[in-house]
Amino acid sequence: MTPLNIPEWQSLERHYSDIKYLSMREEFALDSGRFNRFTVRCEDLLLDYSKNRITKETMQKLVALANSVDMSGWIERMFSGEAINNTEGRAVLHTALRNRSNTPVMVDGEDVMPAVNAVLEQMKKFCNQIHSGEWSGFSGKKITDIVNIGIGGSDLGPAMICDALEPYGVEGMGVHFVSNVDGTDLSTALEKLDPETTLFVVASKTFTTQETLTNAESARAWFLKSGSQQDVAKHFVAVSTNAAAVAEFGIDTDNMFEIWDWVGGRYSLWSAIGLPIALYVGMENFERLLDGAHTMDNHFRNKPFKENIPVIMGLLGVWYVNFFGSQTQAIVPYDHSLARFPNHMQQLDMESNGKVTNRDGKRISYKTGPVIWGTPGTNGQHAYFQLIHQGTQLIPVDFVLPVNSHYPEVDHQSILLANGLAQSEALMKGKNAEEVRAELVKEGFEGEALEALLPHKVFTGNRPSNTLLFARLSPEMLGKLVALYEHKVFVQGIIWNINSFDQWGVELGKQLAKAILPDLKDDSEISIHDSSTTSLIKLIRELRL
């Protein structure tokens, strides 16, 4: 099935031709109710999508498109544990991990909730033991530092959440994330740490990931300079689906926290992959995060599409990618503690929807996932916002705005918020030639000098953005936000008829790296590569110290 043949898609194509030049500025001037019309809430989270190139009719047509692909049916299939990850034959059940209502969720005839709850209990017990000092390091000292060793989904989500929830951190507890196989990452983390008080969480769904196993082995070697082999059990725990590999690595499987193949890596922070979060902010706050995500799950599952935040954001994304030809999407949190939020969103979105083959194995001829990028405001304003305002590409922006800071003793918040709002207003309104002229005259410009400068100062405006506004970045709110984007990605995957839950595109590089590794040894015969790769291997051999 290609969406291009769906009548609702074709109707959107015609509609696009009719309204592609629609001016948001004029629409705001004509319709004082535009904000109310294009605003939705999930409890205390508000989405303002009024600054988009849409009319009421656009939204009706986009919702009709969602209905035409049986979006509700797909949502139910995901929540109820059907194997919608068709290339791996797996259910997709990150929602079960935060199913706080505890209703049964069946996979292959078995309710997964008892296992989910058992691991949550195990995490709770472990956190209590660490926080109380009952579980101490080999010399009897309390654990003060957690080092999570993982990569991709086993790193980005937990690292982002720990940054964001720093104000909720348990006193005296530090958390560190090591992901890169570049030895700098591990070495710089270890420099600050004491083996007697450090706990390593080796997080890998498969427990076969080269970077993670390499880092874990080096961390163990570092530890063994102080502790003994039998002390390893007190300082290394694992999170994985693969008990055999965990045991083979030398971690006691009693100290392993289980995850399941129906948890995708980039959707796994809600599982025991979230252990560093729970150790850092406490299990209670981890559960608050789950609560928030569960609220968003219920919203997504039950709200009509015209009031459904993930559906609306997903459809708007399709509107820009497939009709306006946007290739990228910026996510800009006006909250410094969300600095890693765009990174996590990058993996979530791009590893899910960066696909060129549809669910039926056919190559597709329409655009799918955009490039996701961003950094916190206001920093981005002084870096890349020039291109968003005046560049030749149309880049929709999501502004994420918490009203209150966790650090009110330094009251910069009004300036931060003013800047966030100003960006979305400027992108929408722009500044036309008449306005620029009036400004330049006021500044004393005239004649040729004025005419020469004028075109450079014009902003075409009409550049779309969403604003997500909320009172404060609590654990619940963070849970809602992340779950919202997970579901947005899902919505788009369904419209594009792709499987958002596999990631075959990462495999080839892994295979080739394994083949190249022995070639880097000085005395080995270099295997067959293209001339560029072979020459680079030779050069590396020469340059190596």
Which residues are identified as catalytic?
Answer: 351, 382, 510
Could you say whether residue 209 binds ligand F6P (CB under 6 A)?
yes
| CB nearer to ligand F6P: pick between 381 and 500 | 500
Q: Which of 265, 370, 430, 475 binds ligand F6P (CB under 6 A)?
A: 265
In Å, how far from its chain's centre is CA 482? 7
- In the complex, the smallest distance separating the C-beta of residue 520 from ligand F6P, rounded to whole angstroms, is 21
| CB nearer to ligand F6P: pick between 213 and 426 | 213
Beta-carbon-side half-sphere exposure of residue 439 (alpha carbons within 13 Å) = 11
Q: Which of 50, 95, 212, 328 binds ligand F6P (CB under 6 A)?
A: 212
Distance CA 354, CA 337 (A): 27
| CB nearer to ligand F6P: pick between 344 and 429 | 344
Contact 82, 107 (CB under 8 A): no
Distance CA 298, CA 319 (A): 25
Contact 401, 377 (CB under 8 A): no
- In the complex, the smallest distance separating the C-beta of residue 273 from ligand F6P, rounded to whole angstroms, is 8
**Contact range with ligand F6P by CB under 6 A, out of 162-170, 204-212, 389-397, 445-453:** 204-212
Contact 240, 61 (CB under 8 A): no
Could you say whether residue 271 binds ligand F6P (CB under 6 A)?
no
Contact 426, 458 (CB under 8 A): no
Could you say whether residue 266 binds ligand F6P (CB under 6 A)?
yes
Q: What is the 3-state secondary structure (H, E, C) of 290-306?
A: HHHHHHHHHHHHHCCHH
Could you say whether residue 500 binds ligand F6P (CB under 6 A)?
no
| CB nearer to ligand F6P: pick between 154 and 492 | 154
- In the complex, the smallest distance separating the C-beta of residue 181 from ligand F6P, rounded to whole angstroms, is 12
Could you say whether residue 204 binds ligand F6P (CB under 6 A)?
yes
Contact 466, 48 (CB under 8 A): yes
Task: Please report, for residues 96, 224, 279, 377, 454, the alpha-carbon distance to residue 221 in angstroms, rounded to integers and kept in the order given.
Answer: 37, 5, 24, 41, 64
Distance CA 390, CA 463 (A): 10
Distance CA 298, CA 505 (A): 32
What 3-state class would DSSP assign to 391?
coil
| CB nearer to ligand F6P: pick between 80 and 206 | 206
Token reading at 75: 């949502």
- Which positions from 147 to 166 touch ligand F6P by CB under 6 A, shown as an x/- string? ----xxxx------------
Say how many residues make up the chain.
545
| CB nearer to ligand F6P: pick between 352 and 462 | 352
DSSP 307: G
What 3-state class would DSSP assign to 247?
helix
**Contact range with ligand F6P by CB under 6 A, out of 145-153, 159-167, 361-369, 396-404:** 145-153
The CA R_g of the chain, rounded to the nearest whole Å, is: 25
- In the complex, the smallest distance separating the C-beta of residue 296 from ligand F6P, rounded to whole angstroms, is 21
Q: Which of residues 115-134 bind ligand F6P (CB under 6 A)?
A: none
Q: Which of residues 333-352 bind ligand F6P (CB under 6 A)?
A: 351
Q: Which of 206, 226, 390, 534 binds ligand F6P (CB under 6 A)?
A: 206
| CB nearer to ligand F6P: pick between 40 and 498 | 498
Could you say whether residue 202 binds ligand F6P (CB under 6 A)?
no
- In the complex, the smallest distance separating the C-beta of residue 346 from ligand F6P, rounded to whole angstroms, is 12
**Contact range with ligand F6P by CB under 6 A, out of 35-43, 146-154, 416-424, 427-435:** 146-154
Nearest-CB residue for ligand F6P: 265
- In the complex, the smallest distance separating the C-beta of residue 113 from ligand F6P, rounded to whole angstroms, is 23
Phi and psi at residue 328, in whole multiples of 5°? -135, 165
- In the complex, the smallest distance separating the C-beta of residue 225 from ligand F6P, rounded to whole angstroms, is 26
Residue 325 neighbours by CB distance under 10 Å: 10
Residues 6+ apart with CB under 8 A from 505: 351, 354, 355
**Contact range with ligand F6P by CB under 6 A, out of 27-35, 199-207, 379-387, 465-473:** 199-207
Distance CA 354, CA 499 (A): 10
The amino acid at 72: S
Q: Which of residues 505-524 bind ligand F6P (CB under 6 A)?
A: 506
- In the complex, the smallest distance separating the C-beta of residue 158 from ligand F6P, rounded to whole angstroms, is 11
Could you say whether residue 369 binds ligand F6P (CB under 6 A)?
no
DSSP 370: P
What 3-state class would DSSP assign to 145?
strand
| CB nearer to ligand F6P: pick between 34 and 266 | 266
> What beta strand segments (E) does 249-386 contain?
256-258, 328-333, 371-373
| CB nearer to ligand F6P: pick between 54 and 92 | 92
Give the binding site for ligand F6P (CB under 6 A). Answer: 151-154, 204-206, 209, 212, 265-266, 351, 503, 506
